[in-house]
Structure 1
Amino acid sequence: MIRLAIVRQKYNPAGGAERFVSRALNALREHGELDLHLIARRWEKLEGVTAHPASPFYLGNVWRDWGFARAAKRIWLRERFDLVQSHERIPGCDVYRAGDGVHRQWLKLRARRMSWLRRLSLSLNPYHRYICRAESEMFLHPRLKLVICNSMMVKREIIDYFGLPESRIAVIYNGVDLNAFNPSLRQAHRQAMRQEWGIAESAPLLLYVGSGFDRKGVARALRAAAEQPEAHLMIVGGDKRIERYRSLARRLGMESRVRFSGPRQDVKPFYGMADGFILPTLYDPFPNVCIEALASGLPILTTKQCGGAELVRQGENGWVCDALDESALSSQIGEWLSLRSRWADLSEAARRSAEPLSMEVMGARLLSCYREVLGAEGLDMDRSDCGVAGEEDLR
């Protein structure tokens, strides 16, 4: 039995990365070949998983990440696990799951919207400098055997920035519970949810789900939808500046067409009430919400800077544009509205695009990767079983 340690600093039930960890652990446990361990500051209780707390005192985010990295390494060296898979940028792990993407790429995209003074401040920020250094040391560390990416986009970024050979990178898309997220949510929840939130049955409704409104483009969604008078928005998620977005909706004259629910543990009823899904994110390696929406039969509108765009066939199960091109996003909302007579076809296409990505498939691919890493004599490993094929094979 393989003793596998998963490293993730904190668990936020609403967080996409944390939900991936929980889903992956559950999927892996089903195979019965792994003795699963979790190293974290805090976590949810998971049956069959041994938790190892790593919660040293800290002040500030640099000390927080540095202290956790030291504590986590002490634990995995003491326990002598067969494999250590980190979801944090910690040099010395065996496997790194690049669910947060490449920090340098995020900073590059973020700087697109900034003045030269703010770009300078960003480049000198000690936290970002620490993360970039840790990221580089981790990717170049001799112990690193495999990087698991959740999109082809992130794979290309890692190759471009760090020069890793393709033989050390596998692409495994996030899995989704195809039974929990499915088109029947519409019949189960649409009428009641629309009554609860005061949205007419006939109103075309786009759903947004996520925290971090600035990065994920809530303001861009509001401005783009404002140009399409028929479009309604349901915003699900928390943000400390949420009142700014309520105020923006009022200034845009679309307050009556927008609802803010705040964060929700169970988002399935919201998928059931919607007609489409929108995520104009500035950078997102592969958000769970995109595949949840597709599995629920919702076409998605997202960006080229989102790994989920790799599942989109333009005009068939969704639309893709540049993250900062609000005019294009508004036009795509208009195109979605104009295809109302074909929404059933779009829904079927959305569901089909998610069906190859079950939790069982994800678990099997992860397990295949672990077997290969442990059985490989060197680093030139065949990824045919543990990765995914190119984007075209998922379309």
Structure 2
Amino acid sequence: MTLQARASTGSNPIRLLQFLPVFKVGGTERHVTSLSLALDRSRFDLHFGCMRREGEFLADVQARRIPVTEYRIHRLYGAHTLREQVKFARYLRRNRIEIVHSYNFHANCFAVPAARLARTPVIVASIRDTGALLTPHQRRAHRVACRLANVVLVNADAVRLWLIGQGYDPARIVVIRNGIDLARFGRPRTGAGVRQELGVSADAPLIAMLARINRLKGVEYFLEAAASVAAGFPDARFLVVGDAETMKGDAIVQHSDYLRELEGHLCRLGLQGRVVFTGFRLDIPELLSEVTASVLPSLSEGLSNAVLESMAAAVPVVATQVGGLPEAIEDGVTGLLVPPRDSAALAKAIARILEDRELAARLGQAGHRRVAERFSLPNMVSETEQFYSTLLGQTRRGTAHGVALDSERTRARGRLRRRVKSGAASLLYQTGGDRMFAVLAGVHRAPLVLGYHRVVENYEPHARVSIPAMLVSRRTFEAQLDWIGRRYRFISFDELLRLLASGEPCDRPVAAVSFDDGYADVYENAFPLLVRKGIPAAVFVVTDLTGTSHLQMYDKLYLLLARARSTSRFTSDGLIRQLTEHGIRLAARAPVFDDPFTAMRVLLETLPHAELARVVEALEARVQLEAADLEPLRPLSWDQVSEMHRAGLAIGSHTKRHVLLTNEAPGVTVDEIAGSRRDLERGLGAPVRYFAYPDGRFNSAVVSAVADAGYQLAVTACGHRESGYPLLTVPRRLLWEHATVDAALRFSPATLSCYVNGVFDWTRRCALDHRGTEPHGGSACA
């Protein structure tokens, strides 16, 4: 089954309801409106629910003729609220809503229980901040309501980690970051009218703070910084763009006490005539076109749309190092970060931008590129559409929390294993034991060769439908590279070959980066980051899949086995019986097939490729795969491979079909190894010198075939070396999302240090006999 074949089949649109308290101007409201207007209307039948049918964004929704229903309440409990929730549940049942997605405290506490009452198939609760404005009682109520949802969707890793600390289930939290419509900021604009309206001269520096006015935004620190900046730049003018309204029950109230405090503070600082409170504005792109610097001094934050919009407009940003802001701003590269509640540091950072125009321009352009790469509206919409489709498909199949079907006991073992690993790594890292281990094991002198498979925007949604150990999020990938880059010099595979061939020692530790299997997300997510950081790499592609819509055999097996496992009529004995009827003889016992990943591994390790194709055929007669599951697994196109090659990345072979070479007849092995090299050289018009063994599997006969085919360097996935061909058995360390995390699933430098220094090698011994020439089963090299 190909992607196109499955995607082209018709289906009814998914009935989706978004629930907001109100449509007033704000980061969440703009996000939901932008998302809803950009969703594919052929795939989604959209509805809205709200507590107050008013606000600046309501007109945009109504213009698209999207139904909006109001459920006006005065508080989140009581008889009237219960009646409104029953009314809402009836609407969901009557309109056969399949997904309810609500946003933040008030909407989640109202809509999630009602959707559960209506037996809505999928319920998503979004949390977009760290709850600093909530009381302890409200936080408890919010946690109880969110337990009724299938998934808690957040917009930043910082929010995810805070929720885990609050007792939320990490397995139910998914991160999809905000997306900005770059087209709003890409058109030539003149903000002269804005300056004229605000009484600001054409050449005066204009520093703006874009935020809803409340105590958590730190407006007083902005005013204090403004007073310091004004002393050195008398012409500078300052804007506070946003209103002071908030939702309380069904009422929209003003933070009037805080506003009066700010007015008094402004007078004491002598800033009259220098600071303008503009109120809310809809002309943000025009305003930003005239802004010299954008400032956000928040004390608590999720992932600010105001910061992303400023970066999209190429305006240099100064922000506090809180919440999800460091996920958007790399200090000194895409903006400047300062500690919260530090007006002196804030003023110093603003002054740097005003003094150094080259720095300001560099930060602005880098910020724009960061938004285009990571926070664009199309990316966010595509991820969210895939998230909705996948979650609904899993729920229909009775696997609302993913295809892996992990039991609570399995998850508990995983948590215990992470705690032990994290504790040991932390102790060794702090005492230098990890580096001593590397010296004793002799790995400190060897080049560090890293291996990856897929680089995705967010780990959690992909891990629900793909093999988790092949995934790394772009954020974790960058964190791993940054840590390694501070301790190693990144080298190309050409330099790696020269270094290993010469046997000469390095002046400092070196590292090389590689990617196996040729997934398109390597081009989409890893390639731009590598180019930006100037890191060379090698990409090993499967030539028969390149430029097609076909899946890797192991991906297809995993998805089909998981889908078969999720059906009510599944039994392991029944599956084995069906495969036997297709003439497939299995050595595995029935319990193996209770777990899709274990079953996939056993099949790969014991059957040749032709037999695996017959297993897939038998499974496809039993279950079908959906386009939403297949699309993220698409391979690279030849154009993408050629572009990466022109940019300096090495392109190597990973065979023609990703066959496990030790399972195949000699003639098949030679064709896979030599044929893939011919195909690559024909497609690239350049010699191909590098090879990666699929699944790290090789023996003497396979290595000899690689040598005969003319490859000069080949990489494995374990520490075994072939004495006659050391350059054709170069070991790698394979990294993925959870390879370098602590017990709370946060990136851990200690764990990564232990990993690259070989501390954990004793826990993952390779069981394969690489010396034999006969096919050999057993555990994979990893």
TM-score bin, normalised by smaller chain: 0.7 to 0.9
Match of 1:256 in 2: 273
Contact 1:369 1:383 in 2 (8 A): yes
Of the structure 1 ranges 18-27 and 241-250, higher mean CA displacement relative to structure 2 is found in 241-250
Q: 1:62 to 1:219 in 2, by over 3 A?
A: farther
Secondary structure in structure 2 of the residue aligned to 1:222: helix
Which whole-Å CA distance do the structure 2 matches of 1:374 and 1:304 have between them?
36
Q: Does 1:362 align with 2:380?
A: yes
State the partner residue of 1:15.
26
Mapping of 1:307-322 within 5 angstroms? Answer: 307-322=324-339
Alignment partner, residue 178 of structure 2: 174
> Would you say the 8 A contact 1:170–1:388 is kept in 2?
no
Task: Write the deviation string for residues 90-149 of structure 1: whole angstroms up to 9, x where unpaired.
Answer: 34453434344243x555xxxxxxxxxxxxxx65xxxxx2x32331112322xx222221
CA contact (8 A) 1:40 1:51 kept: no
SS at match of 1:181: helix
Letter in 2 for 1:11: F
1:234 to 2:239 alignment: yes
* C-alpha distance in structure 2 between counterparts of 1:348 and 1:75, whole Å: 47
Task: Find the counterpart in structure 2 of residue 114 from structure 1.
Answer: none
Letter in 2 for 1:380: G
Higher Rg: 2
2:31 is the alignment partner of 1:27: no
Task: Render the CA deviation track for 1:309-355: whole Å, top value 9, x for unaligned.
Answer: 31111122212233222232223223323323332222211211111
1:294, distance to aligned residue in structure 2 (A): 0.7
Seen in structure 2, the aligned counterparts of structure 1 residues 319 and 61 have a Cα distance that, compared at 3 Å, is: farther
Aligned to 1:86: 102
Alignment of 1:159 with 2:164, yes or no, is: yes
Q: Is the 8 A contact 1:303 1:323 kept in 2?
A: yes
Distance 2:402 2:176 in 1: 18
Q: Conserved in 2, the CA contact under 8 Å of 1:89 and 1:134? A: no
Question: Which residue of the partner structure matches residue 15 of structure 2?
Answer: 3
Query: 1:173 Cα shift?
Result: 1.5
- State the distance in 2 between where 1:181 and 1:97 align: 30
Instruction: Name the structure 1 match of 2:391.
Output: 373
Q: Is the 8 A contact 1:95 1:148 kept in 2?
A: no
Q: Closer, same or farther in 2 for the Cα pair 1:61/1:226, shift >3 Å?
A: farther
Separation in 1 of the partners of 2:130 and 2:333? 30
Task: Choose which of 41, 56, 70 in structure 2 pairs with 1:54.
Answer: 70
Q: Distance in 2 between matches of 1:101 and 1:65?
A: 25
Deviation of the 1:25 alpha carbon: 0.6
Deviation at 1:278, TM superposition (A): 0.8
CA deviations 1:335-377 (Å, max 9, x no partner) are 3233233322222112111113222221111110011101224
Of 312, 315, 325, 1:298 maps to 315
Distance 1:273 1:10, change over 3 A: same
Per-residue CA distance 1:44-79 (angstroms, 9 max, x = gap): 142445424232453x57669777655434432443
Aligned-residue offset at 1:27 = 1.1
TM-score, with normalisation over the residues of structure 1? 0.82
1:140 pairs, out of 138, 147, 154, with: 147
In structure 2, C-alpha distance between the alignment counterparts of 1:285 and 1:71, rounded to whole Å: 32
Q: 1: distance between equivalents of 2:186 and 2:264?
A: 34
Q: 1:385 to 1:199 in 2, by over 3 A?
A: farther
Structure 1 residues 68, 285: closer, same or farther in 2, change over 3 A?
A: farther
Where in structure 2 are there 5+ consecutive unaligned residues? 1-12, 116-121, 245-253, 404-459, 465-471, 479-524, 533-782
Q: How does 1:180-329 map to 2 (within 5 A)?
A: 180-182=184-186, 184-185=188-189, 188-189=190-191, 191-228=192-229, 229=231, 230=233, 231-239=236-244, 240=254, 241=256, 242-329=259-346
Amino acid of the structure 1 residue aligned with 2:70: A
Q: Judging changes above 3 Å, is the alpha-carbon distance between structure 1 residues 57 and 221 closer, same or farther for their aligned structure 2 residues?
A: closer
Matches within 5 A, 1:101-116: 101-103=129-131, 105-107=132-134
Query: Are 2:383 and 1:383 equivalent residues in the alignment?
Result: no
Task: Indicate conservation of the 8 Å contact 1:291/1:308, yes or no.
Answer: no
The equivalent residue for 1:110 is none
Distance in structure 1 (CA, Å) of the matches to 2:130 and 2:101: 17
Q: Could you tell me how far apart the structure 2 residues matched to 1:343 and 1:17 are?
A: 28
Aligned equivalents of 2:196 and 2:391: distance in 1? 52
Give the distance between the partners of 2:82 and 2:219, measured in 1 at CA.
32
Deviates more, 1:328-337 or 1:265-274: 328-337
The superposition leaves residues 2-23 of structure 1 with CA deviations (integer Å, 9 ceiling, x where unpaired) of: 11111112211x1221111111
What is the distance in 2 between the residues matched to 1:322 and 1:68?
A: 44
Match status 1:98 vs 2:116: no
Instruction: Say whether the 8 Å CA contact 2:15–2:44 is kept in structure 1.
Output: yes
8 Å CA contact 1:172, 1:388 repeated in 2: no
One-letter identity of the residue aligned with 2:389: R
- Report how many residues are paired: 365
Quickly say closer, same or farther: Cα 1:97–1:207, change in 2 above 3 A: farther
Alignment check: 8 A CA contact 1:6 1:85 kept:
yes
Structure 1 unpaired stretches of 5+? 108-121, 124-128
Query: TM-score w.r.t. structure 2 length?
Result: 0.43
Conservation of the 8 A alpha-carbon contact between 1:204 and 1:337: yes
C-alpha distance in structure 1 between counterparts of 2:293 and 2:83, whole Å: 42
The match for 2:658 is: none
Q: Distance in 1 between matches of 2:304 and 2:156?
A: 10
20, 42, 48: which one pairs with 1:38?
A: 48
Q: Secondary structure at the match of 2:299?
A: coil
Inter-CA distance 388–17: structure 2 relative to 1 (3 Å threshold): farther
Q: Is the 8 A contact 1:99 1:286 kept in 2?
A: no
